[in-house]
């Protein structure tokens, strides 16, 4: 049988031995869903896994009849997505704990306990976690819990579609403008039923790459696992697999079996067949930054603390007096100009005109007369800057105005200094580009907002043929497969590390924010007008 996949012709000859290493969803067939059923007006459309948008998973109403069925059909593992939650329709009595019906059970891992396969589980009661195990033989009716997280289609395909089941998702956030090439209706914000189309991932005896075979390929095969030495095949590892190895196993030499897509350096150097040294695994700090612009889409970056460029401050904008209170600091007095007028309903508080300038002092309370009654409300004490003097004024904290910061600080800062001396978010522009790199992508951006510091997982690698520099590669944002070589590492100490600025997509930006804040709560709302 000869077929073509991703532009590569592959021949499966009679007698060819193939080692299947995994099943993977290749694409999704989507139908518009109404009342948990396919709409009779909906045709199936094909969605690639990189189709833009963020989605919420709708809990499956069909129960699982045993723990064994859950482990067989649902992905459970050590990564961020591998902890599904279920509830039982009946109480489960254990030796020292009773799990109540309807109580959320988190499935953490599958392992052997006293000779019996079991799932390590946990429940949370009164903010305290209780751990226990459930044997695979445990029967009952187990239902999926509601999931308030958001996911990309790729994440749903990899982690959130149980084997032999479809998945209903609700569109949570569109990440691009609709155009005629979009297979979904314009302004669509409903639910979709996703049906997976699988491919088989395999390795062949005399090939060093991964072979992808669509599950509907018309070819007959025979299972010879029990009578063949499978150790003679290469063992592909993802970056997550490599990261899970113990620190004692590093450094190691590997050959790339499937390189990442994209031309961004150093990823364009990581092609199939290249040999690399993987020195170590670790957690590293990055600053998440977004381009300052009023229209979308904005560009997003992860900047290493070792970035060698310099920044100058740019004015911040504040929509309310409440935001001014959050932004003020002990280090310097916040100086702002009003960009929007505000008429105070209380004679005790100040009415603002466009162009008024203020020095922000502190939050306090003040008594005001409201509809004939005295009320105590939160206010922001400021000094209004007049031509030759200062006037003390009070602004209501609920005031929805508009202010822009006046910058007096002309100093140029390193990124590490900004993180140490100021609260994020913080607005800047590059004043001196990073001369240690050929092209500094940040230098061309007119303004950046540093949003937060994040911690992420990285591998430190270099080329075996010319190890003059090493690079940090992200474990969870780079799709790459390697196999380990039984070669000695010539250089146990890595060469000079090039920590590069990583530009990330809109989806990756939302994922990074979500990982850092597992439940992203919106900031506190400013106080409302007294009633």
pLDDT higher for 89 or 219? 89
Are 67 and 8 in a shared domain? no
Q: Are residues 67 and 139 in the same domain?
A: yes
Say whether pLDDT at 520 is over 50: no
Mean pLDDT of 167-184: 70
521 assigned to some structural domain: no
Q: Check residue 404 and give its pLDDT.
A: 92
Sign of CA dihedral 400, 401, 402, 406: negative
pLDDT value of position 39: 61
Of 8-12, 179-183, 254-258, 433-437, the range with the lowest mean pLDDT is: 8-12
Instruction: Please check whether residue 509 lies inside any domain of the structure.
Output: no
| Residue 109: strand pairing partners | 120
Tell me the chain's radius of gyration from C-alpha atoms.
29
Do 213 and 293 reside in the same domain of the chain? Answer: no
Q: Which residue, chain included where needed, has tokens 């497969």?
A: 481
- Name every residue whose Cβ is closer than 8 Å to that of residue 115 and which is 6 or more positions away in sequence: none
Residue 285 and residue 420 in contact, taking contact as beta carbons nearer than 8 Å: no
Mean pLDDT of 429-438: 89
Residue 275 covered by a domain: no
Mean pLDDT of 397-407: 85
Confidence of residue 432 (pLDDT cuts 50, 70, 90): very high
Per-residue pLDDT, 519 = 37
294 and 227 in one domain? no
Residue 199 belongs to domain spanning: 1-57+150-233
Q: 3-state class of 294 per DSSP?
A: coil
Is residue 39 one of the residues assigned to a domain? yes
Q: For residue range 97-110, list pLDDT tens digits in order.
A: 899 999 999 998 88
Q: Does one domain contain both 298 and 340?
A: no
Tell me the mean pLDDT in the region 281-303.
Answer: 89
Which has the higher per-residue pLDDT, 268 or 502? 502
pLDDT for position 9? 47
Residue where a domain terminates, one of 172, 201, 233: 233
CA dihedral 300, 305, 310, 313 (to 10 degrees): 60
Inside any domain, residue 485: no
Say what the pLDDT of residue 204 is: 77
**Quick one: 52 and 155 in the same domain?**
yes
297 within some domain: yes
Q: How confident is the model at residue 7 (pLDDT cuts 50, 70, 90)?
A: very low
Last residue of a domain, one of 119, 145, 171: 145
- Same domain? For 154 and 292 the reply is no
Q: Which of 233, 268, 299 is the last residue of a domain?
A: 233
Considering the domain architecture, whether residues 83 and 156 belong to the same structural domain is answered as no
**Least confidently predicted of 220-224, 294-298, 460-464, 495-499:** 294-298
Is residue 199 located within the same domain as residue 309? no
Number of independent structural domains in the chain = 4
| Residue 523: pLDDT band with limits 50, 70, 90 | very low
- Is the same domain home to 167 and 212? yes
Q: What is the DSSP letter of 145?
A: P
Do 308 and 422 sit in the same domain of this protein? Answer: yes
- CA 134 → CA 116, 227, 301, 393, 460, distances in Å? 10, 34, 43, 64, 38
The answer on pLDDT for 429 being more than 70 is: yes
Q: What is the arithmetic mean of pLDDT over 41-46?
A: 75
Q: Is residue 173 part of a domain?
A: yes
Higher pLDDT, 263 or 300: 300
- The DSSP-derived string for 492-527 is SS--EEE---EEE-HHHHHHHHHHHSSS-PPPPPPP
Domain contains 513: no
DSSP H or E stretch at residue 476: none
Same-domain pairing of 321 and 401: yes
Looking at per-residue pLDDT, the higher value among 515 and 193 belongs to 193
pLDDT in tens, 334-382: 999 999 888 887 888 888 889 999 999 888 888 888 777 888 888 889 9
**Is 302's pLDDT higher than 90?**
yes
DSSP 71-123: HHHS---SSTT---EEEESS-EE-SS-EEPTT--EEEEEEEEETTEEEEEEEE
């Amino acid at each position: 049988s000869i077929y073509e996949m991703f532009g590569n012709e592959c021949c499966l000859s009679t007698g060819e031995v193939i080692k299947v290493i995994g099943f993977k969803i290749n694409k999704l067939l989507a139908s518009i869903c109404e009342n948990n059923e396919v709409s009779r007006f909906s045709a199936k459309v094909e969605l690639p896994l990189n189709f833009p948008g963020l989605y919420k998973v709708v809990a499956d109403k069909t129960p699982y009849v045993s723990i064994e069925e859950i482990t067989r059909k649902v992905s459970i593992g050590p990564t961020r997505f591998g902890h599904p939650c279920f509830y039982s329709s009946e109480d489960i009595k254990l030796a020292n704990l009773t799990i109540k019906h309807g109580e959320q059970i988190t499935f953490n891992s599958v392992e052997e306990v006293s000779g019996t396969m079991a799932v390590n589980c946990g429940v949370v009661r009164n903010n305290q976690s209780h751990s226990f195990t459930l044997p695979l033989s445990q029967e009952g009716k187990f239902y999926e819990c509601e999931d308030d997280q958001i996911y990309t289609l790729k994440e749903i395909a990899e982690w959130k579609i149980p084997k032999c089941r479809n998945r209903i998702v609700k569109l949570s956030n569109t990440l691009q403008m609709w155009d005629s090439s979009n297979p979904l209706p314009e302004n669509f914000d409903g639910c979709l039923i996703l049906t997976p189309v699988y491919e088989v991932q395999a390795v062949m005896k005399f090939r060093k790459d991964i072979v992808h075979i669509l599950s509907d390929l018309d070819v007959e095969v025979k299972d010879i696992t029990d009578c063949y030495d499978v150790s003679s095949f290469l063992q592909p590892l993802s970056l997550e697999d490599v990261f899970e190895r113990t620190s004692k196993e590093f450094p190691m030499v590997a050959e790339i079996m499937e390189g990442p897509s994209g031309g961004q350096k150093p990823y364009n150097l990581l092609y199939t067949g290249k040999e690399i040294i993987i020195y170590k695994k670790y957690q590293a700090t990055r600053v998440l930054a977004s381009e300052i612009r009023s229209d979308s889409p904005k560009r997003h970056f992860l900047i290493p603390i070792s970035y060698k460029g310099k920044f100058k401050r740019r004015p911040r904008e504040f929509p309310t007096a409440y935001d001014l209170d959050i932004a003020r600091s002990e280090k310097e007095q916040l100086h702002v100009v009003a960009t929007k007028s505000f008429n105070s309903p209380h004679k005790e508080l100040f009415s603002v005109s466009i162009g008024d300038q203020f020095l922000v002092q502190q939050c306090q309370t003040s008594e005001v007369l409201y509809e004939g009654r005295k009320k105590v409300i939160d206010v922001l004490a400021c000094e209004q800057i007049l031509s030759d003097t200062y006037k003390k004024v009070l602004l209501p904290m609920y005031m929805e105005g508009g202010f822009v910061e006046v910058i007096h600080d002309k100093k140029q800062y390193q990124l590490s200094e900004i993180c140490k001396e100021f609260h994020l978010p913080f607005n800047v522009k590059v004043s001196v580009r990073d001369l240690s790199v050929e092209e500094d992508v940040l230098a061309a951006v007119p303004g950046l907002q540093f949003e937060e510091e994040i911690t992420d997982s990285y591998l430190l690698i270099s080329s075996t043929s010319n190890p003059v520099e090493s690079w940090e590669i992200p474990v969870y944002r780079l799709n790459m497969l390697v196999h380990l070589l039984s070669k000695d590492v010539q250089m146990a100490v890595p060469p000079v590390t090039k920590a590069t600025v990583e530009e990330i997509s809109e989806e990756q930006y939302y994922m990074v924010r979500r990982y850092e804040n597992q439940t992203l709560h919106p900031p506190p709302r400013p106080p409302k007008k007294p009633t």
